[in-house]
Structure 1
Amino acid sequence: MKIMCLNGWGGKLHDPLIPYVQTASPDILCLQEVVHSPATGKDWLTYRDGDHMLPQRANFFRDVAEALPEHVALFCPAAQGVLWDENESVPSQWGLATFVRKSLPIIAQAQGFVHKSFSPYGYGDHPRSRSAHAIRVYDYARDRSVSIAHMHGLRDLNGKMDTSERLAQARRLAELATSVATPEDPLVVCGDFNVEPDSETFTIFAAIGLTDLVTTRGFEGTRTSHYRKPGRFADYMLVNDAVEVLGFTVVAEPEVSDHCPLILEI
């Protein structure tokens, strides 16, 4: 089974991202920063936050779902705000998505929030609402169930240091993951956590038997050349002892986001 985790950056690098996802063909794709704008047929809209402007793929969720037709597509919104088509505002949902190969039955799942709750009338002030999703699938090839959970950790304008909110989000994700998984399940927890490698977040996950693969296997970061700020870590993938790791990598090329894809084969 191949599991990919990626912060898709709102589909900004749509042209390389879509063929890459198709070629990589993960059995399970955990995708963060997903845009869903069903009210428009436009391909591109603009996100505005003060002086910050970012092109967004208007229907990024649809684009990835169409690129993976053999997968069940599940969207988990954190907020609905507006993107812009020049001077026209367009309602747009933002959150994360999980894509599961149809041959892997989803036998349990849980969706919830690790920070705040759903924001229906605007993206809100930073740090904004953050959602998480956990699934349990049945793997017929190995005759067993496997559980996977992912989140997009909150962004704090002051940096990636530990805060009470970040520790609370880790506890909530741990609770969500263990609410779906049985004690015997191979369990994978991943996402853009928005914390540094020395964060107490990993102590919380260690308490439920999880070990991070990014930091323990010598990778020097998870950001691409499109990320020009200091600090090269954001994304992590953790496993418990029941996971037999056949391969794990942080993909440097091609660059499909300002984050690197994480790929785990079990």
Structure 2
Amino acid sequence: MALRLICLNAWGGRVHEPLVQYLEAADPDVLCLQEVTHVAGSGGGWLTFREGDFKLPQRASLLEDVTAILRGHHAFFAPAARGPLYDGDREIASEWGLATFVRQGLPVIGQVQGFIHGDFPVSGFGEHPRPRNAHGIRIFRGNTGSAVTIVQMHGLRDLAGKGDTPARLAQAHALAGLIEKVRQPGDGLVVCGDFNLLPDSETFAILERLGLTDLVTTRGFTDTRTSWYPKEGRYADYLLVTPQVRIEKFEVVAEPEVSDHRALLLEIA
């Protein structure tokens, strides 16, 4: 039986109803989500992220919403920052980061979580480029008698653009180090996420040393954004695998649109 993995930047649940409908219908074995919001004790509803004149609706209970529809999964939440969202003029403390969901019956036999840029900010969401983290799991597949390591990350956002910088190269080395802490010899390896990088970034050369090849660019996909994202520069999300991963299907999902990012769908034998 193939293992189905979906990787997606959830955009704080901005496109909430299509998002939860898609995830429930797709029913992935492993779901890697970036930009997940969590307000402790929230019963749901909407809050607003503010930065200068920019405002973005955020689902207060996105972590709980996805947990509720993936009832047969274990949920792992890795916050990258804690800062204010707003209900009118009232500030509400919110956590923001990565969430990984793994179907029950797929034992998680190894795990690592850590920052690949900066550290958990003491106050608010932090200054740009803001802290970023990664989360890795090693799961055992009973039907194949083997383990696969899956690592997701959310790359730092630089207001100057997506080109290489010393911080991004340091981030790549930190990611490679984190991968090596959880992966064991012989494991297939999948690395995915919103990298916030261009396809010619030195990051991919660094990850190539681990045997990783990106499927987005090598399979001819040129756009990982949806119509919710009106800007130029259509690459953001990538999914890389090692040769041990036997690919049955890979897709950059154009429809439905559930975020300003497209979902990446991988099925492996």
TM-score interval for Structure 1 and Structure 2 normalised by the shorter chain: over 0.9
Q: Deviations over 1:112-166 (max 9, x none)?
A: 0011001142001111011110000000111111100010000000000000111
Which of 80, 83, 96 lines up with 2:82 in the alignment?
Answer: 80
Amino acid at match of 2:116: V
Amino acid at match of 1:168: A
Report matched runs for 1:205-224 at 5 Å: 205-224=207-226
Q: Deviations over 1:84-137 (max 9, x none)?
A: 001111000011110000110000000000110011420011110111100000
% same residue: 57
Instruction: Please state whether the residue corresponding to 2:247 is helix, strand or coil.
Output: coil
Gaps of 5+ in 1: none
Amino acid at match of 2:82: Q
Q: Residue 202 of structure 2 corresponds to which residue in structure 1?
A: 200
**Which range is displaced more, 41-50 or 186-195?**
41-50
**What is the CA–CA distance in structure 2 between the aligned matches of 1:191 and 1:22, rounded to whole Å?**
20
**What is the CA–CA distance in structure 1 between the aligned matches of 2:43 and 2:244, rounded to whole Å?**
44
Q: Residue 102 of structure 2 corresponds to which residue in structure 1?
A: 100
Which of 220, 228, 231 lines up with 2:230 in the alignment?
Answer: 228
**What is the CA–CA distance in structure 2 between the aligned matches of 1:174 and 1:69, rounded to whole Å?**
32
Report matched runs for 1:99-248 at 5 Å: 99-248=101-250
Q: Deviations over 1:45-81 (max 9, x none)?
A: 0000011100000011111111100000010001110
- How far the C-alpha of 1:39 sits from its partner, in A, is 4.1
Gaps of 5+ in 2: none
- How far the C-alpha of 1:17 sits from its partner, in A, is 0.3
- How far the C-alpha of 1:42 sits from its partner, in A, is 4.2
Structure 1 contact 77–94 (Cα < 8 Å) conserved: yes
Cα RMSD (Å): 0.8
Structure 1 contact 223–232 (Cα < 8 Å) conserved: yes
**What is the CA–CA distance in structure 1 between the aligned matches of 2:66 and 2:18, rounded to whole Å?**
12
**What is the CA–CA distance in structure 1 between the aligned matches of 2:125 and 2:168, rounded to whole Å?**
19
Runs of 4+ in 1 over 2 A off after TM superposition: 39-42
Question: Between Structure 1 and Structure 2, how many residues are aligned?
Answer: 266
| TM-score (normalised: structure 2) | 0.97
**What is the CA–CA distance in structure 1 between the aligned matches of 2:120 and 2:104, rounded to whole Å?**
28
Q: Residue 264 of structure 2 corresponds to which residue in structure 1?
A: 262
